[in-house]
Amino acid sequence: MLCASVRTVRRLSLLCVLSLTVATPNVLAQDQRNATGEYGVVVSRSVEASNVGAAILEQGGNAVDAAIATGFALAVTYPSAGNIGGGGFMLVHPSDGRDPAFVDYREKAPLASTEDMYIDGGSRKNHRWVGVPGTVAGFVLAHEQFGTLPWEDLVMPSVRLAEDGFVLKSLAQGLNRAVERSENDEFKRVYGKGGGTQLWQASDRLVLSDLGSTLRRIARWGNDGFYVGETADLLVTEMVRGDGYITQNDLSSYAAFIREPIRTTFRGNEIFSAPPPSSGGIALTIMLGILENFDLKSKGRWSPETMHLIIESMRRAYADRARYLGDSDFVEIPVHLTTKGYARELAASIDPRHATMSEKLGPRLTEVEESQETTHYSVIDRTGMAVSNTYTLEQGYGSGVVVTGAGFLLNNEMGDFNRNPGVTNRQGSIGTSANLIVAEKRMLSSMTPTIAVRDGKVVMVTGSPGGRTIINTVLNVTLNILEFEMSLRDAVDAPRLNMQWFPDRVGFQGFDDPVFSDLVKQLTVMGHRVTSGGGGDANSILVKDGLFIGAADNQNGGASAARR
């Protein structure tokens, strides 16, 4: 029996929630959001980008090759978050016995940055909020360490997409809204139909010639096609035009890094996730460590006891996130945060019948809100090598600034720093030191690319966009698969909850079905303030019975299987 997914409100019927049956591969293959294969799977927010990645696998490329190609294609087909002008993180689990590796290509603060440079706030849709981009350097480093196909072969598919164009389909409506709101003339020229004087239709084709030329330079010269030469000159000229901070020195000195992933275990599985400057892996480790002390499966996935424990684990992890986490190259991260002993202490602090008041876990720290406009994609190849990649421009379409003559969007990631040194109040300011602005520092992130491994073999690849909700989305999906043994489709489509310590409320997404009304009432009696909301777009992969099963979260997402 197959459960139908209703993604618009993430609603499952009572039958679907309780049965949790596994859909058959031949049914999955009929839905562009689903793919099953023996030779590899790519799952992203864009059908075209997923197809590009799958084609690389079919040509003999490995998972990193496919991830790079998919990332460049998303810069064309999903411009609100796919990018070459932003940054992010790539988690790689090789299949040849090498240790997992984490490629950090997060944006960094320009050399001219000061800790009080944004104390007056203001709109982030301009040149002054742009961090030094890292995506191209990150992909180049990943290719140097793990790639197999020639670099040019990985970039040229995106060149063709940009220069030949692609049919907009569901992107048309979003572009029309973005163009209408934009105050950037180059954005309107590049992304507006008729320079913004007409409305895009779903059947229209978008051609991005300038972006195609930039991607050609990257295809030919790698980092030198972006961080020096013509592209860099165009970017610096754009900064001068808009009074931005990035200089040629900022670009030429940018470097991506290989870091050691955060590692933990849960129910016999090894979990690998993101280290600082992302908060994702540490927070996920804290939550899983707490929950491992309880038999959630026997309580039931949708019981008030299970939901209460998950909420309380989130509350405690996010409290520590606000207190301690930042770029570990600049701040010292307490080592006890990821230990099982600390998790047991936190588990013991949970009242099984009553919600903890968030104030009891420390002084109120309302953090800078991260945009939900990020994107995540997952890849696995025929050998079992896996990649979990999350990258972003920060807000939708980033700063809204298109580099004149180069055709790509710039991020506005500087807004992810704490902007008011020493000022922490109930009005929303946070001035704690771990995430204050320092030149060349990387801003704290919630991105949580995650891979689960059992007996040395990958069993799950996941991650999500969603700002600070990212970590909780990954926790929900991870528990659904590893604790409650759901099928991948059900695990991704299931209702989600989100608690971030402050504000002291629980966001529920997909719990408006009447079957959950008693659950919400019981949680309210426990003292939880329940509201709507959740977030996330968990494009994921499950390995089961020798098959690679991919599930794109969003209705408009794409999952493609490589075929031989």
pLDDT (0 to 100) of residue 47: 96
Domain boundaries, the chain: 46-258+382-450, 262-269+279-369+452-555
Mean pLDDT in residue range 392-397: 94
> Length of the chain in residues, anyone?
564
pLDDT (0 to 100) of residue 422: 57
| Range name among 23-27, 262-266, 394-398, 525-529 with the lowest pLDDT average | 23-27
Cα separation, 326 vs 277, whole angstroms:
6
Interval 335-390: pLDDT, tens: 999 999 999 999 999 999 999 988 888 765 545 555 557 999 999 999 999 999 99
Distances (CA, A) of 371 to 70, 124, 223, 409, 538: 22, 11, 28, 16, 16
pLDDT (0 to 100) of residue 502: 81
Cα separation, 42 vs 500, whole angstroms:
30
Which value, to the nearest 10 degrees, does the dihedral of the CA atoms of residues 93, 465, 558, 92 take?
Answer: -10
Q: Look-up: residue for tokens 């059900």? A: 490
Given a cut of 80, is residue 4 above it in pLDDT? Answer: no
Cα separation, 328 vs 434, whole angstroms:
9
The answer, yes or no, to whether the previous bond of 275 is cis (omega within 30 of 0) is no
Residue 544: both structure tokens together: 């089961």
Q: Which CATH class is domain 262-269+279-369+452-555?
A: mainly alpha
pLDDT (0 to 100) of residue 504: 87
pLDDT (0 to 100) of residue 368: 52
Interval 293-310: pLDDT, tens: 999 999 999 999 999 999
pLDDT (0 to 100) of residue 564: 82
30 SS3 class: coil
pLDDT (0 to 100) of residue 556: 81
pTM over 0.75: yes
Residue 375: both structure tokens together: 């994107």
Q: Are 513 and 3 in contact (CB under 8 A)?
A: no
Q: Look-up: residue for tokens 């309780």? A: 18
Q: Are 476 and 525 in contact (CB under 8 A)?
A: no
428 versus 69: the higher-pLDDT residue is 69
Which residues are part of the catalytic machinery? 374
Residue among 319, 463, 441 at smallest CA distance from 378 = 463
Mean pLDDT in residue range 61-90: 98
Residue 305 CA to its chain's centroid (Å):
29
Mean pLDDT in residue range 320-328: 91
Burial of 407 (0-12, 13-18, 19+ CB in 10 A): buried
pLDDT (0 to 100) of residue 157: 98
The answer, yes or no, to whether the previous bond of 421 is cis (omega within 30 of 0) is no
pLDDT (0 to 100) of residue 26: 29
Interval 148-184: pLDDT, tens: 999 999 999 999 999 999 999 999 999 999 999 999 9
Interacting residues of 327 by C-beta distance below 8 A, sequence separation 6+: 276, 277, 435, 441, 442, 443, 444
Residue 41: both structure tokens together: 């799977």
Mean pLDDT in residue range 212-223: 98
pLDDT (0 to 100) of residue 536: 83
- pLDDT averaged over the chain? 90
**Residue spans of beta strands (DSSP E) within 382-512:** 386-392, 450-454, 457-462, 496-498, 506-509
Mean pLDDT in residue range 250-275: 98
Cα separation, 131 vs 109, whole angstroms:
5
pLDDT (0 to 100) of residue 432: 61
pLDDT (0 to 100) of residue 364: 55
Residue among 485, 553, 545 at smallest CA distance from 36 = 545
pLDDT (0 to 100) of residue 545: 94
Which value, to the nearest 10 degrees, does the dihedral of the CA atoms of residues 501, 303, 283, 422 take?
Answer: 0
* Amino acid letter, 460: M
Interval 473-520: pLDDT, tens: 999 999 999 999 999 999 999 999 999 888 889 998 888 788 899 999
pLDDT (0 to 100) of residue 365: 54
